[in-house]
Amino acid sequence: MNVLVTGAAGFIGFHISKRLLESGYKVYGLDNFSSFYNVCLKRDRLKELEGVPGELNFEELDLLDTDALSSFFKLANPDCIIHLAAQANVRYSIEHPVDVINNNILSFMHLLEQARLFSVGHLVYASSSSVYGNNKDIPFKTTDNVDYPVSMYAASKKSNELMAHVYSSLYNIPSTGLRFFTVYGPWGRPDMSTFLFSKAIFEGKPIKLFNYGRHRRDFTYINDVVEGLVKVLNQPPERNGQAPYALYNIGNNKPVELLAFVRVLEDIIGKKALTEGVPMQPGDVAETYADINDLVRDFDYRPSTSIQSGIKKFVTWYKAYYGYE
């Protein structure tokens, strides 16, 4: 099977591409190497991928370049797409809303058009727990009302879900949206808390704990996410007289308070953190908690990585990559 992975040099894109290559899929990877964070990390992920046995066809390409995208689709002729390319980060979206519109909505439109033209068999795309906004009903269910986002990033992901439904309905393109919940692990994004907190502890610098550390996050280890992605990829929604369209939460189903998260990091790193409690930021939410019953029912999804185990694996990688003793 030919699988096109967008954002293949990104965090989740790297891990799912690696898993697909190891499983015998032909992987066609795209990434624009955005400078949102250090491009060297993305280049190093790509080097790792190029060392994995299997057929990888990678191109540095921006989804906003419609001519280049069309040419790549002719080369790849993908059976399925895993769309992970996006401008991430809630806080960034507040300062740079136009970037989010271009990279999360317009680029997705271009991808949908190619999926239509090439009759792609399944489009799996990244949504986000951010779409739930300040929803007070815990845990978050995909049936909850998500019409009140509190950041442009959240609005862009909700827009993706709506756009995918249109293309599923009009053009019979099976699509599955996955609302990811705080994914972490080796090769992660430097703007995420696991990365930021570890760096601060190793360097003896203070950690800003928003909402005074009372935030609760449904931290989900990358291997559990990849397991879910593979299961979903191989079972597209059926056309039973309605749009072949589905939405799922993909989380650990066990929220952890930030203060407790920091304590686990301290124990594993063997060094106390310097912390500074600060108020909640605009666009932020107090808690995320995934109801994954639908994913368990339909795909037997079973996240198995504890926060202690996941953080230990991350810290082991972090120390080796950055040369900490």
Smallest CA-to-CA distance from 5 within 84, 106, 88, 105 is with 84
- CB count in 10 Å sphere of residue 204: 10
Among 25, 92, 132, 153, the active-site one is: 153
Q: 246: buried, middle or exposed (CB in 10 Å: 19+, 13-18, 0-12)?
A: buried
CA distance 9 to 27: 12
CB atoms near residue 278 (< 10 Å): 12
Contact 39, 17 (CB under 8 A): no
Rounded CA gap, 86 and 31, in Å? 10
Residues pairing with 246 in the sheet: 176
Q: How many CB atoms are closer than 10 A to CB 89?
A: 18
- Token pair listed for 250: 């993909």
Cβ atoms 202, 324 nearer than 8 A:
yes
Question: Is 301 known to be catalytic?
Answer: no
DSSP 61-102: --TT-HHHHHHHHHHH--SEEEE------HHHHHH-HHHHII
Nearest 5 degrees, angle CA 300-CA 305-CA 308? Answer: 160
Catalytic residues: 153
